[in-house]
Amino acid sequence: MKFGTYLFEPEKVLGFDFDLFRVKPEVGRRQPPRQDMYSNVAIFGDNVTARNHPEWVSQSEHGPALRTNDRYNFRWDILCPTVPEYREEMLKYIEEVDRASQGIWLNSIHFADHGHCTCPRCKEKWQKSGLSWLEWRKKEVTDYIAQIRDVVKKELVIGLLPDPVSSYERFGIDFDALAPYADAFNVVMFSKNYATPWYWEMLCMGFKKLLKKPMYISLYVFGPGDDPKEVPSPAELLTVSVRCGRTGIDGILYLAGKASQIVDFQKAAVDKIELRQKLRNYGCPEVLELVERWEKIVG
Ligand SMILES: [Zn+2]
């Protein structure tokens, strides 16, 4: 297994195998990539572009893909994925970011959710395609990833939302169709707590069965602006890491706003002597060895 950080600032943290920097998160703000970090790019989730181009926001019978639309669970504003100018611009952007960093980890590659996008352009493209609605959506998503694969010369990792069953109907995502273009998948499993590790472990097993490429998961340590009382406890994070790790996944990333919040987690994990002892028989020595590595750095 490999372990990485997943950060909103361009800082590396000692004690990990690699570091992923959110050069363009879904809020839409862009920061320059770093040569010695991987770059995380959210494509169609983009609050800044949605504000500047309201005509590009994805449409549906139940309203647009905006955070204010309570029919859906949108955490950010989402663009229609067939806007030619935006696709072109993102392709160039991703090519540049790849050149200036260790490689690309994508998020938000897909349609917003069930029933998106019904803008006039999408309706016309679908009708001309002769395909079923769902197959047309899948083709739009897959063909764009194929174009991205052509411009990314380094590692390309495709981010997935944690829905192993309905990603095709909801997002136009077909895991098998995307696999040939992906060096790996990253299933984001963000939560403000991991009090019931059973669910996360089950999701890992489900995805591990489905995905035909190496699979990472991403866990939530501390988001930007979070109240310290409302983030997962170090004990929950250690336990869920071990329980997910034993399903055969290939690695875990830890998300935080700042590198210092990851260091705080490392220190707290090192101090959990009794829990680390208890987790020895759980069947994932890799996570415990990671904490032993941290002991030498932050202990
Ligand atoms: Zn559309």
Residues 267 and 214 in one domain: yes
Q: How far is the CA of 81 from the centre of ligand 1 (A)?
A: 6
Same domain, 138 and 207: no
Verify that 45 and 146 share a domain, yes or no: yes
In this structure, are 144 and 283 located in the same domain? no
Residue at 183 is within a domain? no
pLDDT of 299: 73
Look at residue 165 in the predicted model and tell me its pLDDT. 97
Kindly state whether residues 216 and 125 are assigned to the same domain.
no
Tell me, in angstroms, the distance from the centre of ligand 1 to residue 142's CA.
Answer: 16
Buried b (16+ CB within 10 A) or exposed e, 129-143: eeeebeebbbbbbbe
Query: What's the number of domains the chain is made of?
Result: 2
User: 106 alpha carbon to ligand 1 midpoint, in Å?
Assistant: 20
Which domain, by its residues, includes 253? 189-299
What is the residue-level pLDDT of the chain in tens, covering all 299 positions? Answer: 999 999 999 999 999 999 999 999 999 999 999 999 999 999 999 999 999 999 999 999 999 999 999 999 999 999 999 999 999 999 999 999 999 999 999 999 999 999 999 999 999 999 999 999 999 999 999 999 999 999 999 999 999 999 999 999 999 999 999 999 999 999 999 999 999 999 999 999 999 999 999 999 999 999 999 999 999 999 999 999 999 999 999 999 999 999 999 999 999 999 999 999 999 999 999 999 999 999 999 97
Same domain? For 115 and 205 the reply is no
Do residues 104 and 26 both lie within one domain?
yes
Q: Which of 110, 140, 145, 147 is nearest to 126 (CA)?
A: 140
Q: DSSP characters for 199-249?
A: HHHHHHHHHHHH-SS-EEEEEEEE-TT--GGGS--HHHHHHHHHHHHTTT-
Write phi, then psi, for 234 (nearest 5 degrees).
-55, -35
Q: Does residue 217 fall inside a structural domain?
A: yes
101-119 tens-digit pLDDT: 999 999 999 999 999 999 9
* 163 and 215 share one domain: no
Please tell me whether residues 113 and 220 are part of one structural domain: no
Q: Examine the domain organization and report whether 30 and 134 are in the same domain.
A: yes
> Which residues have beta carbons under 5 A from ligand 1 (an ion)?
80, 117, 119, 122
What's residue 70's pLDDT?
96
Is 7 domain-assigned?
A: no
The vertex-120 CA angle with 116 and 124, nearest 5°, equals 95
CA of 215 to the centre of ligand 1 (A): 30
